[in-house]
Amino acid sequence: MHSNRYIIVYSTIMVVLVAVSLTFVAVQLKPRQEDNIRIEKMQNILASANIATTVTNAIETYNKFITQTLVVNNKGEEIKGSDAFGLDMALEIKKPVDQQQLPVFIATLEDGKKYSIFPLRGKGLWGPIWGYLSLTEDFNTIYGVTFDHKGETPGLGAEINTDIFEKPWGGKQLFDLDGIFTSITVTKGGARPGDIHAVDAISGGTITSKGLEKMVKDCMLSYEVYIKNKGRI
């Protein structure tokens, strides 16, 4: 039987050794892990403008196509001195609406057209969902979207990040003919053919679909003034 003193000394040494080795590993790997997160974000931003990338060419492609980034508030005014790429939407959406800093990424594609990319963030069934949405130069028609999620049900809610769900978003419109913000409805049972304000929901993924619909509506509503100002010029 070991004495109490032995046990205390033993556990102290063990814990210190483990703490030191874990700290060492964490510090060593941190730059690489942060790069992975940055690269994934770049890939997502580009994917919403229908630009395919790989992990290796993501940074290069991002620098090539993303020609401008800016941060605006919900009144559509530009906030100077804020880094659009570094903003975390998970934190921004928790702030009161008038204090949110909202990033906008502008992609200039090879045909010379400019597409504006807006980040989205909301709640699915099990956890956060997020994505990016790009608008064409009319600031009304959706050019492309990309969605992702933390832990939606595989085969059901998790299908939001598949092409089958994302592709039909292209060509839909955020504003109706009178210029009123209508957003996009994610319709259970399928959108009516030709409906420019609706897409098909995912069978069995109703709560994720509804959460996604709310995310697009809430997030794009914050940009409404900015978009309207731009669209009218």
Integer Cα distance of 130 and 96 in angstroms: 19
- Contacts with another protein by CB under 8 A: the residue count is 25
Nearer to another protein, 24 or 179 (CB): 24
Write the CB contacts of 2 (distance below 8 Å, at least 6 apart in sequence).
10
- Residue placing its CB nearer to another protein in the complex, 115 or 147: 147
Contact status: 36 vs another protein (CB under 8 A): yes
Give me the 157-186 binding string for another protein, x by CB under 8 A, dash otherwise.
------------------------------
Q: How far is the CB of 227 from another protein (least distance, A)?
A: 32
Residue 104's closest CA among 39, 55, 51, 49? 49
Q: For residues 106 and 112, what is the distance between their CA atoms, to the nearest angstrom?
A: 12
DSSP 112: S
Q: Which residues lie closer than 8 Å to 165 by C-beta, 6 or more apart?
A: 147, 159, 199, 200, 202
Per CB under 8 A, the list member of 12, 78, 95, 151 interacting with another protein is 151
Residues 12, 33, 57, 68: which binds another protein (CB under 8 A)? Answer: 33
With binding defined as CB under 8 A, does residue 90 bind another protein?
Answer: no
Can residue 15 be called a binding residue for another protein (CB under 8 A)?
yes
User: Least distance (Å) from another protein to the CB of residue 169?
Assistant: 23
Residue 207's CB is within 10 A of a number of other CB atoms, namely: 16
